[in-house]
Chain A
Amino acid sequence: MSLIGRRRERQPYEMQEEREVKSPTSWAGRWSRAFLLVFVLFAAWIAAPLSALADPPQPEKAVRGPCVRDAEWMRRNHMDCLKHKREETVREGKAVPTESFLSCISCHPSKERFCDRCHAYVGVAPNCFDCHQYPK
């Protein structure tokens, strides 16, 4: 008996055709489906914050005015302004009451509705109010 003679007998043609019907997708088809599912999930994950970007934060309007600088300037530069005034006030004793932290607070009474809305949106956490008091 030769080694060739020990091969398994071939399946009948009918059965082979049946198997083809039972698994309609090939390996490539399965992978492409899995990839599509992952892609959809990933896109949803990306798109969720993007949809939030569509509506920018609405900080509360000042209860009084006008501001010490125009609003457009303040939006970009308030942090530099505060730091500059901080050095002058603390180290040189040149306090300008109209431009002090306390006077910001008098026109923007709520930290949660004014400062925090933008800060949360852009993901910054300034620690001004660990020490300074925001009157309620």
Chain B
Amino acid sequence: MTMDRRSVLGLGGAIAAGVALAPGLHLIAAPPAPTAASGTGKRWAMLIDTTKCSADCTACTKACRAENNVPLFGDPQRDIHWIRKVELKDQTLRRPAVSLPVLCNHCENPPCVHVCPTEASFIRHDGLVLIDKHRCIGCRYCIIACPYKARSLVFHKTRPAKDANPKVPIRAAGVVEKCTFCAHLIDEGKLPACVEACAKADKGAMLFGDLNDPNSEISQRLRKEKSQTIRADLGLNPHVHYQGI
């Protein structure tokens, strides 16, 4: 390729002008997408009043299994639990035993996400801690990292039951799964299945809502009433709050 004198001078001039002007140019940044962490998006959280929860009621766990197609294999060591009922007993017997549901706490600083080698566990924009099962390799680091025992590995292959919910996938063996706060229902503007079931069973122990909205019922109740989280000392900032424990 040959260039004549005019185009060489022109090119040189253009480069010189570019070098002179470039430091003064500012690219227009797109406004950041709303996220839970920045306070601009939603931040889903749950408040569970254990005084309204009774030991004999399993409405939430049953509803969860039905909604999310979570099977029971009958092997306690390998069963999958997204939400489970736990009984707290005071060793001094001064206080009565408390029954409460324990599920994924959707922490703000989730250790499970921190340890995941494939970034299969991640924090969604609305603060939900979810698992991308397409990426999960089943290493189980997250199960070890989670202080709430919220995660389970799928040891068995499953087939969809006849009355399976078609909106939620069944599971492949060898991936980890846990409570999603029923993300598919939240996206449709509905409540998680356990919260619905709790209200239907006339317990009303579970309240679900947006913490970033100061006028939501959960925000107001958390401000006014006393509540606590499990293992608050770990600094994970979990988003399942409990009353009466």
Contacts and interface: CB of A to CB of B under 8 A. Distances in A.
B141 interface: no
B126 interface: yes
Contacts of A135: 166
Interface string B91-127: 0000000000000000000000000000000101110
15 contacts: A86-B134, A90-B130, A90-B132, A90-B134, A91-B124, A91-B132, A93-B124, A93-B126, A102-B167, A131-B133, A131-B172, A133-B160, A133-B164, A133-B166, A135-B166
A104 B130 CA distance: 25
B140 interface: no
B169 A95 contact: no
Given A92-B124, A93-B125, A93-B126, A127 B167 contact: no
Contacts of B171: 131
Contacts of B124: 91-93
A130 to B, nearest CB: 4
Given A102-B166, A132-B169, A133-B170, A95 B160 contact: no
Contacts of B130: 90-91
Nearest to B124: A93
Interface in B125-164: 125-126, 128, 130, 132-134, 160, 164
B152 to A, nearest CB: 15
Interface of A: 86, 90-93, 95, 102, 127, 130-133, 135
B182 interface: no
B122 to A, nearest CB: 6
Contacts of A133: 160, 164, 166, 169-170
A133 B167 CA distance: 8
B169 A131 contact: yes
A105 to B, nearest CB: 8
Contacts of B134: 86, 90
Interface in B29-48: none
B230 interface: no
A54 B227 CA distance: 71
A87 to B, nearest CB: 8
Nearest to B119: A91
A130 B156 CA distance: 12
Contacts of A127: 172
Contacts of B167: 102
B122 A91 contact: yes
A102 B169 CA distance: 11
Given A92-B125, A102-B166, A130 B172 contact: yes
B112 to A, nearest CB: 16
Contacts of A90: 130, 132, 134
A92 B169 CA distance: 18
A38 B135 CA distance: 48
B183 interface: yes
Nearest to A83: B134
A131 B169 CA distance: 5
Contacts of B125: 92-93
Given A86-B134, A131-B133, A95 B172 contact: no
B187 interface: yes
A93 B187 contact: yes
A130 B160 CA distance: 10
